[in-house]
Amino acid sequence: MKILGVNETSHDASMSLIDDSGNILFAGHAERYSKIKNDWYTNENLSYDLHNYGHPDAIAYYEKPYLKRLRLLFGGYADWKPTVKYDKAFEHHYSHAAAGYYTSSFDNAAIVVLDAIGEFTTSSVWIGKGSDIKLHKKWSYPFSFGLFYSAFTSLIGLKPNEEEYIMMGMAAYGDPDIYRDKVSEYFPSVYKQKYNLHKGIHDWNQDITENDKFHIAAAVQSVYEDRLWDFMYIVRQELDSPNLVFMGGCALNSKANTILWDIFPDIWIMPNPGDAGSSLGAAAAMYGKHLNWQGPYLGYDLGGEYPVDKIFDEIMTNKIAAVATGRAEYGPRALGNRSILADPRDPSIKDKVNKIKKREEFRPFAPVIMEEYASEWFDMDYTSPYMQYTPRCLKPELIPSVVHQDGTSRVQTVNKKQHPGLYKLLEMFYNETGVPILLNTSLNIKGQPLLNDEKDIVEWEKAYGQKIIR
Ligand SMILES: [Fe+2]
């Protein structure tokens, strides 16, 4: 028996396939196949690729379509159509909770789901015990952590539901105190907001200069972190578990995630915590127990061994290497299989990579580090295999290209089991330079999703006049 999980008709459609031993056979994003960023709908190529791994016997859908329809009518949004016929639909937040808890190694945990909105639920807390996930508490539309963040994303001229990560990066360049009080009015205490933020901030009444955008971003990030802290602290007090599973689009805020280590001794955030991860969540919900989680390399397979020697030579000669090999990452981050890897010691590397990527320069690049050296280079006593936390860098002068304006880095830790090839590469770089770290950023054509298949490689090489190692 194989279960197909589907997420579509909102942003970031995806499909996942699991078998009856809990193995994740495939998990892929629609956007990687269609090249439409944050694509709302699944497509034929994604579906064909999934069928290489078997044929589903049952289909699980990631939310309750009719409940959502009701909320869309209630909110004044008309257009909506599900394209999938499914056997069972799970609540939006339950799919998030299942994606998180059933991929974790915990047999008991507090599960927190925070996003913009599901059907009606926007925030929920669940208790995971053994194979059971039970609701503890939930909050409904319009109160929402995600809608608060998205409303300000839109206020400063970015695209809501898509460019929140840019605002998070901008926050490091602003002074949070300038607009802190004003932003606080919209989210004055942990469960309270000024009004329905779904349609944005409509009473700001002040011109916003280019500089203000950075100060507003800093204030929003700061208020968000304070409310998140309060919310999580209460969860820790109420539920008798040292383990946190955090899911929903809000769990993509790596800067805010970092403070949660002061509340919970152990944390699991599935590498695809937003809606794109909910196809796996729906399948897991139908399966009803823990999956056999082996890592996020679950998408399209380019085949081949990890080309360690070729990448190493390229980095030692030209300092930058573009890599596409093996299975694509399931989740928003390139974690080595669709990556640009570079020497982090050279301060000019940041500009060179920015030039290749044709992107805004305030966005930081991430370091990938051998797990055993993480606490020596960064202020962390935990692992971060999927770039979900931003600890302070302890030796910024040695790796200037992977340290953000505020002195932090969005770290990816790697051990031998997680990715033997990438680990070996880091080891070789360490033996040569004494630095167990490389710069790691996503391999994509500007404005497009991560590279996926052979066709994309050809297109990228043509566009950038550079060879991809595979
Ligand atoms: Fe969601």
DSSP 8-class letter at 178 = H
Q: What is the pLDDT of residue 362?
A: 67
In whole angstroms, give the CA distance from residue 113 to residue 125.
6
In whole angstroms, give the CA distance from residue 393 to residue 440.
16
Residue 344 has pLDDT above 90, yes or no: yes
For range 72-96, the mean pLDDT: 77
- Work out the pLDDT band at 465, boundaries 50, 70, 90: confident
In whole angstroms, give the CA distance from residue 297 to residue 272.
11
In whole angstroms, give the CA distance from residue 411 to residue 400.
14
| CA of residue 397 to ligand 1 center, whole Å | 39
**How are beta strands 2-7 and 14-19 bridged, if at all?**
antiparallel
CB 50 within 8 A of CB 316: no
Q: What is the pLDDT of residue 307?
A: 98
Residues linked to residue 128 through DSSP beta bridges, in sequence order: 109, 133
| CA of residue 441 to ligand 1 center, whole Å | 25
Q: What is the pLDDT of residue 78?
A: 55
Residue 353 has pLDDT above 90, yes or no: no
Q: What is the pLDDT of residue 351?
A: 84
CB 113 within 8 A of CB 97: yes
Question: DSSP secondary structure string, 205-274?
Answer: -S---HHHHHHHHHHHHHHHHHHHHHHHHHHHHHS--SEEEEESGGGG-HHHHHHGGGT-SEEE--S--S
Residue 66 has pLDDT above 90, yes or no: no
In whole angstroms, give the CA distance from residue 455 to residue 458.
5
| CA of residue 275 to ligand 1 center, whole Å | 5
pTM of the model: 0.95
- Work out the pLDDT band at 69, boundaries 50, 70, 90: confident
Q: What is the pLDDT of residue 193?
A: 97
- Work out the pLDDT band at 447, boundaries 50, 70, 90: confident
Q: Is the four-CA dihedral 374, 380, 381, 383 of positive or negative sign? A: negative
Residue 41 has pLDDT above 60, yes or no: yes
| CA of residue 94 to ligand 1 center, whole Å | 10
| CA of residue 250 to ligand 1 center, whole Å | 9
| CA of residue 332 to ligand 1 center, whole Å | 15
CB 402 within 8 A of CB 366: yes
| CA of residue 97 to ligand 1 center, whole Å | 10
For range 160-181, the mean pLDDT: 94
Token pair, residue 176, equals 């949070």
| CA max distance for the chain | 62
| CA of residue 39 to ligand 1 center, whole Å | 15
| CA of residue 261 to ligand 1 center, whole Å | 23
- Work out the pLDDT band at 34, boundaries 50, 70, 90: very high
| CA of residue 422 to ligand 1 center, whole Å | 31
User: Residue 21, Cα to own-chain centre: how many angstroms?
Assistant: 26
Return the residue matching tokens 């390229």.
314
| CA of residue 249 to ligand 1 center, whole Å | 6
List pLDDT tens digits, range 2-20: 999 999 988 899 999 999 9
CB 92 within 8 A of CB 126: no
Q: What is the pLDDT of residue 316?
A: 97
User: Residue 261, Cα to own-chain centre: how many angstroms?
Assistant: 18
Residue 271 has pLDDT above 60, yes or no: yes
For range 226-237, the mean pLDDT: 98
Q: Residue 33 is which amino acid?
A: Y
| CA of residue 329 to ligand 1 center, whole Å | 20
Residue 82 has pLDDT above 70, yes or no: no
**How are beta strands 24-29 and 14-19 bridged, if at all?**
antiparallel
CB 369 within 8 A of CB 423: no
| CA of residue 419 to ligand 1 center, whole Å | 29
Q: Which of 25-34, 128-137, 434-443, 461-470 has the lowest mean pLDDT?
A: 461-470
DSSP 8-class letter at 408 = B
Q: What is the pLDDT of residue 400?
A: 93
CB 347 within 8 A of CB 361: no
| Mean of the per-residue pLDDT values of the chain | 94
In whole angstroms, give the CA distance from residue 29 to residue 452.
10
Q: What length does the chain have?
A: 470
| CA of residue 91 to ligand 1 center, whole Å | 10
Question: DSSP secondary structure string, 28-81?
Answer: EEHHHHH--TT-SS--HHHHHHHHTT---SEEEESS-HHHHHHHHHHHT-----
| CA of residue 61 to ligand 1 center, whole Å | 13
| CA of residue 106 to ligand 1 center, whole Å | 22
**Among 329, 345, 349, residue whose Cα is nearest residue 337:** 329
CB 24 within 8 A of CB 280: yes
CB atoms within 10 A of CB 434: 9
Q: In what order do the strands lie in the sheet with 412-414?
A: 320-324, 338-342, 437-442, 366-370, 412-414
List pLDDT tens digits, range 193-225: 999 999 899 999 889 999 999 999 999 999 999
| CA of residue 115 to ligand 1 center, whole Å | 5
| CA of residue 92 to ligand 1 center, whole Å | 6
Residues 6+ apart with CB under 8 A from 4: 15, 16, 17, 50, 56, 58, 59, 60, 283
Token pair, residue 427, equals 């080891």
Q: What is the pLDDT of residue 72?
A: 74
List pLDDT tens digits, range 285-313: 999 999 999 999 999 999 999 999 999 99
Residues linked to residue 245 through DSSP beta bridges, in sequence order: 111, 268
| CA of residue 451 to ligand 1 center, whole Å | 24
Preceding omega of 142 cis (within 30 degrees of 0):
yes
Residue 76 has pLDDT above 70, yes or no: no
Token pair, residue 384, equals 């971060």
- Taking only Cα atoms into account, the Rg of the chain, rounded to an integer number of angstroms, comes to 21
